[in-house]
Chain A
Amino acid sequence: MPGDPAREYAAKEHALSFRDVTKTYVRSHLGRTSRFRGIEHLDLDLRPGEIFGLLGLNGSGKTTTIKLALGLLAPTSGSVSIFGHPAGSRSALALMGYLPELPYFYPYLTPREILTFYGRLSGMPHKELEAKTSRSLEKTGIERHTDRRMSDFSKGMLQRVGMAQALLHEPRLLLLDEPVSGLDPLAVAEFRALFSRLNQEGTSLLLSSHSISEVERLCHRAGILVEGRLVKIFEQKDWSKEPGLLETLFVDMIRQNGAE
């Protein structure tokens, strides 16, 4: 309930908090207006130090959820907060790192130049920028390609650079949209190990993915979005009994909610 002190206090404790968030897209064309619900009455709390997986079919609202957290979209109703700060505020953005699906980088730049640019935008002092850039590149395994142009990079390498820029300012919360999409198995394993390591260091992660197996291996909890509604949140104990159980639970939930 808005204004409820207990819930307000609780919101500050959460890495990411959605309070009855609805997002309606309004499209106007030739005088006709149509409305489309992207997200409906979303209530979700991400605990600090948690890895939360967001599962859903295409168009279920996963990317909308992430963009609401980043402040790239404004909720039609409800509120979103990051460690108690309103989503989109400078304080909130300073605490978050974001890896978009299919990151695009300026082709004429090198990874070092890209990270330097984004580091400056994050307000990092010049003295620590170089050290953190090198560290970020090492963490993501592209230190050998530091001075190559992005136009020469494969998809996997682009994804690594995307990860590097997300980690650059050592965020407390990482928002990852399809982080292992299109990666080879070795890269997937490396990313998985990186996420685990980050989580052990205290970073919270929100992972949006079609790869149920990755969510199964990494996440503490998983939420299922169906047509903009968060229909169910599973705990790790719900699917850890046997491999592949999360996929079964996911499919069942989709069918129950009539998404197909």
Chain B
Amino acid sequence: MPSFGRENFNIPLRAVGFAAAGLCVISLLNLAVFQRFHTPFPNPSQLRPSTAEATQSTGLMALGMRRLAADLAFIQLLMYYGTPEADEGAGRAESKAEHQHEEYGGGHYSELGPRAQRIMKLDPTFAYVPLYAAGALAFNLGRAQEALDILSTAARADPREWKFRAYMAAIGAQKRGDAPAVLRELGQALDDPDCPTLIKHIAAFLNRSLGRREEAIRLYREILSSRDPSYYETARRALRELGAAIQ
């Protein structure tokens, strides 16, 4: 039988034929899959990450860890937003660090919106991110339009998610200065497991300012049982002021 040898490695032509058949099977299989399966997410080249994020995101996506890339970017977003900005005056630094809802426009955090948008492209199913970012932008930083843009993008990616529309309506009410409407529009979203503590904090304050004491107390207690410790002190103080037990 004809063969060619290479360091004791005689490969009969039959084996070559066998190998060629194997490669054909693989090619046909992939062709069939190309026609039927498409990833639901944007491709990496469509993501436009920042230079700093490019290596991290691309590296993780190369290992098929898109969600992980989104999670890391989210942690970095939290760290970004949780870090006082150095270019604001010393007197406002403390309030900015806490991002008190009472002080709209506290800090600029120009990257907050773009970072959130990039996370949403990495993982369009990461519903928490647009809710959190929109809440911070609209209720803390006074950038309602940017918040609405984020929620619009999120709603386009996942039209079935009703919370995005609820938040958009709430932001619209906030722009009109209609606090009861804000609470009405947020409504059930406040009880959702994905509701950011930041939003609950805002809702608790609005309820308190409207004299809805019981509702405010409920929300502050929920904040104390949440995983975000940055609002614990504020919630405890508020409960003390409301004359409620801290449970």
Contact = CB atoms under 8 A, between A and B. Distances in A.
**Direct contact, A vs B (beta carbon within 8 Å):** yes
Interface string B1-39: 000011110100000000000000000000000000000
Interface residues of A, number: 6
A73 B7 contact: no
A148 B127 CA distance: 60
A28 B4 CA distance: 12
A150 interface: no
A74 B6 CA distance: 13
Contacts of A28: 6-7
Most buried by B among A25, A26, A27, A73: A26
Nearest to A74: B10
A34 to B, nearest CB: 10
A151 B6 CA distance: 36
Contacts of B7: 25-28
Nearest to B5: A26
Interface residues of B, number: 5
A128 to B, nearest CB: 37
Interface string A57-87: 0000000000000000110000000000000
Contacts, number: 11
A26 B6 CA distance: 6
Interface in A19-42: 25-28
Contacts of A74: 10
A63 B174 CA distance: 89
Contacts of B8: 25-26, 73
A179 B57 CA distance: 60
A25 B6 CA distance: 9
Contacts of A73: 8
Contacts of A25: 7-8
Nearest to B7: A27
A27 B7 CA distance: 4
Nearest to B8: A25
A213 to B, nearest CB: 34
Nearest to A27: B7
Nearest to B3: A74
B243 to A, nearest CB: 70
A199 to B, nearest CB: 33
Contacts of B5: 26
A74 B5 CA distance: 11
A26 B3 CA distance: 13
A31 to B, nearest CB: 12
Contacts of B10: 74
A66 B128 CA distance: 70
A28 B7 CA distance: 6
A61 B23 CA distance: 39
B51 to A, nearest CB: 42
Interface string B190-201: 000000000000
B125 to A, nearest CB: 46
A70 to B, nearest CB: 14
A73 B5 CA distance: 13
11 contacts: A25-B7, A25-B8, A26-B5, A26-B6, A26-B7, A26-B8, A27-B7, A28-B6, A28-B7, A73-B8, A74-B10
Nearest 5 A-B pairs (CB), nearest first?
A26-B5, A27-B7, A28-B6, A25-B8, A28-B7
Given A25-B7, A26-B5, A28-B6, 8 more contacts: A25-B8, A26-B6, A26-B7, A26-B8, A27-B7, A28-B7, A73-B8, A74-B10
